Amino acid sequence: MTGIFPFLRQRLPFLGLLLAAIAGILFSDFVASPSGVFCALAAVFLLLALCLARGPWIYLSVACAFACVHVWQTRESTSQELAALVKAGRFLVVARGSVFSDPVAYGAAHERFTMRVESLEIEGKALRPSASVAVVTPAPAPAQGDQVTVTGSLQVIAPPRNPGEFDAKSWMARNGVTCQIDVAAAGDVLIDRKAPDYALISIANRSRKWMEQTLRLGISDDPVVCDFLAGMVLGVTASIPDALQQEFRNTGTYHLFSVSGLHVGMIALILWQALKIGGVSRRWAVLVIIPALFFYALLTGWKPSSLRSAVMSAIFLIGMTSSRQPVPINSLCAAAFLILVQWTNEIFNPGFQLSFLVVAAILLLAVPLHDLIRKHCHPDSFVPRQLWTRSQKWAWEAVEGLGGLVSVSLAAWVGSLPLTLWYFHMVSFSALPANLLIVPLAFVIMVTAALALFGGVFPGTLAAIFNNANWVFSKLLLGTVHLISCLPASFVYVGSPAPAPVSVTVFDFGAGGGAGIESAGRIWLIDCGPKHEFGGVLAPWLRSRGKPAPEGVILTHGDARHIGGAGELVGSNPPGVIVESMLDDRSSQRNQLAKRLLELRIPKSLHRAGDTIRISKDATLRVLYPPPGIPRDVADDKALVLRLDTARTRVLFLSDAGPATLEWLVQNAPSELPADVIIKGAPRSGVPMDTAFVDAVRPGLIVSTAAHFPESERMDESWKRLVEARGIRVFRQDLSGAVRIDIRPQGYEASGFFDGSRFSAPLK
């Protein structure tokens, strides 16, 4: 084994320390013991280590010490104490403190930043929690480092309400933030004192803004290239189109936007060569480069990947000035250990995991893979190099250069594969060839960007000249990524198997609507929710099911809160077919979608009462409404009403059907109505479902959308009591969140995603 992994023969003190730290953090995260227990154990094990001079006691002491720190930073933190005080309520507060993070976009017109609270007034009580909170305010938000006073509504950050939705609650908690202040107006955020101009963070922010402006000189008329350069050089990705970011993810090249070892290594190499040309000695070059790398990490957001790279580079550069060369794998472990000392929760950060796993794979696998390539491409091991022909020498040099790129890219792909599958449900088969083309071009772009920034110091057009050269390189890189992303089998999604032969997921879109039906590896969507929910809910849910797009989409009516996401779906990964009601309406959203479908040549099918849509051999959708030619003025009364038929279970989808629709169904299709489950929205009229209709359907379960706004979307409590008096279970989605209904031969089971509520109905 030591022949395969030579690093096992080396002394790696930080490897043991890192493993002990990870074990302690994970153990304390799953075991609800107070910090005092771990602190006492750490002291005991340290005493044993000093008395017995045995290594295992040291590692146990380190594990318990990290466990103690992790408990301090999580369960016993001031942020958790604030969350316990607020609980599930909303409180008007006045908070004073400093802006800790750089503001980021939050929706269309808001920004979010993290604030370190020094004092808090809540319901007339003055507190000094010394906790971090998230603040959502109308743009523009104050700058990082500013002292501010914020007036707003304080609440605990809510967990996700839909499967596939980003878990902001857990993410923010891992970053020491449990509560959020929602600010109604920009005037409710007062800047008490601006960040000092000489503060390091202010210098970094001003430098980043200047760099962004400089990189746009001469090419500002092409915002896509400008945003790409800002994302690649500075890690600023907020303005990069989602479709473009997805192409980089599909080709395994998204690391270009995540400032990591590749970027830090490029910056170090550029600075090293520049200082070498300037005649600077090695020792002085190291003294210049190390602070520059850490400033670059600060400039780009102080992310784990950039911090890890800066620490590793510093260790390597210091080794170059001494008589001993550092061991790369030990330096990697040292960097991870030091980051965990700073914040133990980083171990749960996907960026931290991906960064260190990829670099570890490169350090462990790249050299053996390169040696294997050399072995199979060597001209002749018995012929001295001096006797090689010119073509053999050229071929060998190509093997050396290309083999190095192939081995590093393949090792990085292997290292990233487990986490890519876990977090993104995707395997990119094009990552290896894409990186072979993209990484050298990315280095050219970084060098040209550095020259443009250098030219921006001087007046004139020097920066614009280099930017125009970078425009050509960027266009070439973007075109290459787009081309590779479009290749067949460039990437595949790997999803989890369906939990039942037929599963229905009713998404919680508030006043909107949308549901997914899974059966036999096929997915059909009934409505897509509002536009702003597609990227955060539907798209990740589809990926988690192993699907870039559904086989079909049924759009019940033209309400933007039901079909807004269809435009996003069609623009990214078009479904096989679009099904709509044959009744036309005046919806501008539906008209825009129709034009988009014509442009993309996506087939559309108009359906009416009596039509059947086969999803799989186990599931069929039958259209119950509308019939042809029925006069209706209200969009809700033009909506498709569908019934999902399985072997022994029926699910009735009513969309936002109003009283006129329900009355027509009772009078004209009473035999079609009996179903086990009703999934309903709320008509704009606000009139609740007639109990006569409920009696005609005789369901065991009703899943109803419910929202606080507008008034018509609120749950009618009196109607709910009347329905429950009939022995019918009601899931109101303002409480349950998304609802999944698993249909099996022996019955069906419904579960609420948000509150964990459950309902089972075995067949008799």
Tell me the pLDDT tens digit for each residue of 91-116. 999 999 999 888 888 877 899 999 99
Mean residue pLDDT across the chain: 89
Q: What are 58-100's pLDDT values in tens digits?
A: 999 999 999 999 999 999 999 999 999 888 789 999 999 999 8
Question: CA angle 628-697-749, nearest 5°?
Answer: 115
Is 2's pLDDT higher than 50? no
Please give the pLDDT value at position 529: 95
- Rounded average pLDDT over 154-170: 94
For 230, which DSSP code? H
- Rounded average pLDDT over 131-143: 93
Could you tell me where the DSSP H helices lie in 193-235?
200-216, 223-234
Q: Which of 285-294, 570-579, 584-593, 736-745 has the highest mean pLDDT?
A: 736-745
Question: Left if phi > 0, otherwise alpha if psi is -120 to 50, otherwise beta: which for 32?
Answer: beta
**What three-state secondary structure class fits 322?**
coil
Contact 118, 112 (CB under 8 A): no
- Rounded average pLDDT over 129-155: 93
What tokens does 578 get? 């679009």
Q: How far is CA 449 from the centre of its chain?
A: 28
Burial of 404: CB neighbours in 10 Å, binned 0-12, 13-18, 19+: middle
Give the span between the Cα atoms of 709 and 705, in whole angstroms: 12
- Rounded average pLDDT over 409-425: 89
Please give the pLDDT value at position 6: 55
**Weakest mean pLDDT among 4-8, 239-243, 368-372, 430-434:** 4-8
Neighbours of 42 (CB within 10 A): 21
What tokens does 99 get? 């802006």
Please give the pLDDT value at position 757: 96
Please give the pLDDT value at position 402: 82
Give the span between the Cα atoms of 473 and 600, in whole angstroms: 30
Is 451's pLDDT higher than 90? yes
Cα pseudo-dihedral 370, 373, 374, 376, rounded to 10: 160
Give the span between the Cα atoms of 570 and 603, in whole angstroms: 11
Is 23's pLDDT higher than 90? yes
Q: What are 565-621's pLDDT values in tens digits?
A: 999 999 888 898 999 998 887 888 888 998 988 888 888 899 999 999 999 999 999
Domains of the chain (ranges; CATH) run 11-73 (no CATH), 78-195 (2.40.50.140), 349-428 (no CATH), 502-762 (3.60.15.10)
Burial of 374: CB neighbours in 10 Å, binned 0-12, 13-18, 19+: middle
Is 412's pLDDT higher than 70? yes
- 378's CB contacts (< 8 A; 6+ apart) are 396
Q: What are 469-523's pLDDT values in tens digits?
A: 999 999 999 999 999 998 988 999 998 888 899 999 999 999 899 999 999 999 9
Cα pseudo-dihedral 75, 76, 78, 83, rounded to 10: 40
The pTM score is 0.88
Give the span between the Cα atoms of 615 and 630, in whole angstroms: 27
- Determine phi and psi for 417, rounding to 5 degrees: -60, -50
Is 167's pLDDT higher than 60? yes
Burial of 46: CB neighbours in 10 Å, binned 0-12, 13-18, 19+: middle
Q: What are 350-385's pLDDT values in tens digits?
A: 888 888 898 889 889 998 998 888 887 777 666 777
- Residue 150: C-alpha distances to residues 101, 145, 745 (Å): 15, 15, 56
User: Among all chains, which residue has been given the structure tokens 């209709």?
Assistant: 693
- Written as one string, the DSSP assignment of 266-287 is HHHHHHHHHHHHTT--HHHHHH
Please give the pLDDT value at position 40: 96
Give the span between the Cα atoms of 465 and 468, in whole angstroms: 5
Is 422's pLDDT higher than 80? yes
Q: What are 295-341's pLDDT values in tens digits?
A: 998 888 777 677 777 887 887 788 767 656 678 888 888 888 988 99
- 576's CB contacts (< 8 A; 6+ apart) are 549, 550, 551, 552, 603
**What three-state secondary structure class fits 652?**
strand
- 588's CB contacts (< 8 A; 6+ apart) are none
Neighbours of 182 (CB within 10 A): 15
Give the span between the Cα atoms of 17 and 62, in whole angstroms: 7
Is 395's pLDDT higher than 80? no
